[in-house]
Structure 1
Amino acid sequence: MQEVTTTKSAKSSLKTKVQFLGSKLSGMVMPNIGAFIAWGLIAAIFMKSGWFPNEQLAKMITPMVTYLLPLLIGFTGGSMVDQHRGGVVGAIATMGVIVGSNIPMFIGAMAMGPLGGWVIKKFDSWAQPRTKKGFEMLVNNFSAGILGMILAIIGFFGIGPVVSGLSAILAVGVDWLIKHQLIPLVNIFIEPAKILFLNNAINQGILTPLGIQASAQAGKSILFLLEPNPGPGLGVLLAFMFFGRGSAQSSASGAAIIHFFGGIHEIYFPYVLMKPALFLSVIAGGVSGTFTFNLLGAGLKASPSPGSIISILLMTPKGLGNYIAVLSGVVVATVISFVISMVILKSDKSPATDLATSQAQVSAMKNATKTAADTTITTEALAKSTAIQHIIFACDAGMGSSAMGASILRDKVDKAGLQIPVTNTSISNLQDETGLLVVTQNELATRALEKTPRAMHVAVDNFLNSPKYDQIVQILQKKQAATATPEPTNSPAATAATAGSMGIAGLELSKVNTVEFVYQEHNLGSATMAQSIFKNELHKAGVTKIAVGKVAVNEIQDVDSILVIANRETAQQLSANLTKAQLLIVADLVQAPEYPELAAQFKS
């Protein structure tokens, strides 16, 4: 028994390490995927064989793939370790491997970026306690420059040639697989790995860098199609639509649309886990699709993100033959996966498995060690917490399933009448702050907790369908009702609340010479936009004597010459502290209909 436990622990540990590595690699690529897409579009449109060849604009193609993309990766990798300062040193270090090689240096950037961030972080931890007062800026600037220079030299003479050699070996291996028609066998590993959530490690860490090198030389690469192909998952979902049972059948059509057009591949994973035999379907679909891609010479200009058929077609090079090759591979993968799934579902006489149970299995497959529920706060603990001002869904890349989860909860929050923003981001971009609720998947909860120890944390099995969402909304509603206290009818806050809901007639503007938009940490951008919008309204009204600014919620001055504008969430913190300043409450700082009327009142 002890032996079995040890073996499981070792496998779990290995999976944890692979997932962690994949998270770091994808964390450097995914935030910059827009730049990769821009490069792919410029190449597809303006190169000699593009849709609209343009010799002048095509000059951007080589510098972007040689310098811009690796430097972005290097900067992002360094900033993941030590924020902006680490990003700067990481970018300098990356420049050394770029110049020291003759191929696009993506793998080198993934190495030098985090190395640069780590080196400057270690130096700062040693130097800062020893730096004399008044010399901080001098030490900080010169240390970043000197260490960056040293790392760039090391990268030029040492790391660059090594990575070039390694990349050349990998490229030769890939070419050998393609020439010998063996590249489809890679999908035997890719398809199960996707359902184990190792797709980021494979796609962003290996296939994308190698694919860009191939695309820069040949104009396209099949490597961009191996993991994003939506055909295998679509075939499974179509089979459930026609031959499934219960909730799995009724939900499969919606899941198919999200998967195929939205590119959220995670949505079909629970369906495969309901019937483990369906692993054969996705493997066969992936292998047959890649075989078709290889046979017809299909390839993309750049990595599609997300793996939607729309993104795939946008990255397809010009030419009817290219589109036929790409679509043929997707169709073949879909058909093969569908047929095998159909046989499996029709021959299966076992009792129907509930989809919710299967979705819980997704979490079990994804858990890298013991369940992370021990390190996260339950919804019961959430009920005892302080006020929640911002909800963030966090995942590896900050896209895909976390965006879907944020959209689902945002809709529930809006319908409940709660003025709480719900957004999504990658774990690497989380910022530790109070009043924050982080929602993440079980296997990522420990990392999220380490990143934001002051925040509240709730872990879910699946972003796309969790009963905890309704519990969270109910708890937040109760907390809001419990903290809401009636204002005296003659208080400025009560007057402002009336003005916010009935217009601005209740405000006394004769003494006001300053308008302040109040913000919290999570809505500084909204306050900045509102400030600009209201300035424009005053300008159109011909009002020049009113100053317009923005101020943090804890820095507002309570004087009668200031009119404070805040949303309902922020106003709850302000109302008890304002005795002289007037408060105008608006539903949305950026899209408030009160602004033109308020500007007109100032004019009169």
Structure 2
Amino acid sequence: MSATTAPAAGTATRGKAIQVKLQKFGAFASSMIMPNLPAFLAWGFITSLFIAVGWWPNEILGGYGNADTGSWQGAATQLVEAEDGTTFRQYLGLVGPMITYLLPLLIANAGGRVVYGERGAVVGSIVAVGMITGSTIPMFLGAMIVGPLSAWVMKKIDALWEGKIKAGFEMLVSMFSAGIAAAAMAVLAFFGFAPIITNVSTWLGEQVGWLADRGLLPVMSIIVEPAKVLFLNNAIGNGALVPLGAQQVVESGKSLLFLVEANPGPGLGILLAYTFFGIGAARSSAPGAALIQFFGGIHEVYFPFVLMKPALIIAAIAGGATGVATNAAFGSGLTAPAAPGSIIAVFANTSRDSYLGVTASVLFSFAVTFVIAAVILRASRARDLAKGDDADRLAAAIAQTEANKGKSSSALGALAGSTGATSATAADPARTVHSIVFACDAGMGSSAMGASILRDKLKKAGRTDITVVNRAVAKLDDSADLVITHRELTDRARGHAPTARHVSVENFLSSPVYDDIVRELAVDSEGAKA
């Protein structure tokens, strides 16, 4: 018996290890993309408004006008060769510099900061300039590589003489070592990495073009939809689709790649199918989850419903493929990533000529998913009723979803209700609390919701003297008195803030620990007054 089960167990372990590695890569890619999404959105708005085919074409801001004959003489220009061989000065505009320099530099800065703090951010940005100027295409992939890589190299260089520098020379060595190393790596990036990444990016773009030419783009949904449920989509989306989509926007002003995983139609189809054909807790929870998913853009709220009945992944794949095929048929796309994947964000970033196609892609993907999901739920309804209420199965699916994500989720917490919490031992339980930090991977979303809830509770308790903020785990420091994290992240948080008091929760939205903290701090306040 053991001879047959051991290989299966080994395969399962390896599969889990691969999933964890992909999730870590996706989280790392997100740590470079997510904080900079406002910049992507700003660039998308400027592009959709001011390019030649935009809503309000502007040759100065769009960067396509002849500066020699233009009325605005103070703007930056570039020398361009016309089709007849003559040259003229063309306005540089906003669109080109933002995608060529600003966005890659922000990505490299964020990646370097995650690896080696402020020092890594500066070095990563310098090296990224070498990558950018050494290429003829936007260097998103290059920035995602050289930013953290150069910061890591700088970290290793600093470790060589750590503790060996004579007092008074630390700043001199620190400044010159970073400057010399960054300059050397920038030259290496210019001549070495840039041509390689350019070829890789070009090849990836050609593969997407090859799929498009053969009508095979919908096949991507076979990978993307299951990956979303397992929280592997960040590796695909932020690691490939967003950089390739941005490159397509430069070439054609829009890209359907931004809508491959952000389309809210499939998730809405599954949740409304549960609303009409589900049973028990799943049926009662589905309508609220549908509102959060479709308008709030938090797609993860429908993942537990798929995990409860894995056959529904077929419906999600079919709906996602339908949406991609519809956008391909209409030639529609977005000008920037739709993040979060709300219908509001989708329409806000839709290209001027793509509203019909994008709307059709959302509606058709919803309809296909809903019909297939309804058939699956109807076919298994008798068996589901025989099993009784599905509250326990829904709770287990939510727990599995959070396990796949590697952290708690405010949206899933609201779906599940209170699931309890466990507190970690404090490094210094007697430490007076003046500042509380909620920390998660990205420093936004779930931790922001938790911070808002506790801030409101403290305000009602009269403790307005305590600051409550949210922050990424990687940006924690020992200035915090109390750090609240999901239990999966507490050990990492201790590494960044070893002397702070740490508290773990199961979900940020509805933890009973908040009331305990408020009561404790209220007592401290009364004791101080006495």
Would you say same fold, with TM above 0.5?
yes
The alpha carbon displacement at 1:404 in A equals: 4.1
The alpha carbon displacement at 1:10 in A equals: 1.4
Describe the shift of the 1:405–1:358 C-alpha distance in structure 2 as closer, same or farther (beyond 3 A): farther
The CA deviation string for residues 19-77 of structure 1, in whole angstroms up to 9 with x for no partner, is 11111111111111111111111110011111111111111111111111111111111
What secondary structure is seen at the aligned counterpart in 2 of 1:129? coil
The alpha carbon displacement at 1:87 in A equals: 0.8
In structure 2, the partner of 1:379 is 423
Within 2, Cα distance between the matches of 1:29 and 1:167?
Answer: 17
Within 2, Cα distance between the matches of 1:130 and 1:119?
Answer: 19
Within 2, Cα distance between the matches of 1:328 and 1:384?
Answer: 57
Within 2, Cα distance between the matches of 1:9 and 1:380?
Answer: 29
Describe the shift of the 1:412–1:480 C-alpha distance in structure 2 as closer, same or farther (beyond 3 A): closer
The alpha carbon displacement at 1:412 in A equals: 5.3
Instruction: Decide whether the 8 Å contact of 1:77 with 1:113 is kept in 2.
Output: yes
Q: Which residue of 455, 470, 480 corresponds with 2:521?
A: 480
Q: Does 1:6 align with 2:10?
A: yes
In structure 2, the partner of 1:313 is 347
Amino acid at match of 1:304: A
In structure 2, the partner of 1:398 is 443
1:470-509 equivalences under 5 Å are 470=512, 472-485=513-526
Amino acid at match of 1:344: I
Amino acid at match of 2:370: F
In structure 2, the partner of 1:352 is 389
In structure 2, the partner of 1:589 is none
The alpha carbon displacement at 1:83 in A equals: 1.2
In structure 1, the partner of 2:313 is 279
Measured on the aligned residues, the alpha-carbon RMSD in Å equals 2.5
Within 1, Cα distance between the matches of 2:335 and 2:102?
Answer: 17
What secondary structure is seen at the aligned counterpart in 2 of 1:268? helix
Within 1, Cα distance between the matches of 2:483 and 2:355?
Answer: 44
Instruction: Decide whether the 8 Å contact of 1:27 with 1:428 is kept in 2.
Output: no
In structure 2, the partner of 1:147 is 181
The percentage of aligned residue pairs carrying the same residue is 47
Amino acid at match of 1:37: L
1:40-119 equivalences under 5 Å are 40-58=44-62, 59-119=93-153
Q: Does 1:192 align with 2:231?
A: no
Larger-Rg structure: 1
What runs of 5+ residues in structure 1 fail to find an aligned partner?
Answer: 369-376, 487-571, 577-604
Q: Does 1:341 align with 2:387?
A: no
Amino acid at match of 2:14: A
The alpha carbon displacement at 1:427 in A equals: 2.8
Instruction: Decide whether the 8 Å contact of 1:263 with 1:400 is kept in 2.
Output: no
Within 2, Cα distance between the matches of 1:228 and 1:276?
Answer: 21
1:75-474 equivalences under 5 Å are 75-319=109-353, 322-347=354-379, 348-349=381-382, 350=384, 351-354=388-391, 355-366=394-405, 378-379=422-423, 381=425, 385-386=429-430, 388-408=433-453, 410=455, 419=464, 421-440=467-486, 442=488, 444-463=489-508, 466=510, 469-470=511-512, 472-474=513-515
Amino acid at match of 2:42: A
Within 2, Cα distance between the matches of 1:224 and 1:8?
Answer: 32
Amino acid at match of 1:379: S
Q: Structure 1 length as normaliser, TM-score?
A: 0.73
What runs of 5+ residues in structure 2 fail to find an aligned partner?
Answer: 63-92, 408-420
Within 1, Cα distance between the matches of 2:451 and 2:296?
Answer: 15
Q: Structure 2 length as normaliser, TM-score?
A: 0.83
Describe the shift of the 1:14–1:121 C-alpha distance in structure 2 as closer, same or farther (beyond 3 A): same
Within 2, Cα distance between the matches of 1:415 and 1:228?
Answer: 38
Within 2, Cα distance between the matches of 1:286 and 1:414?
Answer: 45
Amino acid at match of 2:277: F
The CA deviation string for residues 101-154 of structure 1, in whole angstroms up to 9 with x for no partner, is 100011111111112211222222223423222222222221111111100010
Number of residues paired by the alignment?
474
The CA deviation string for residues 213-265 of structure 1, in whole angstroms up to 9 with x for no partner, is 11111111111010111111111111222222333222322221111111111
The alpha carbon displacement at 1:170 in A equals: 0.6
Amino acid at match of 1:49: V
What secondary structure is seen at the aligned counterpart in 1 of 2:94? helix
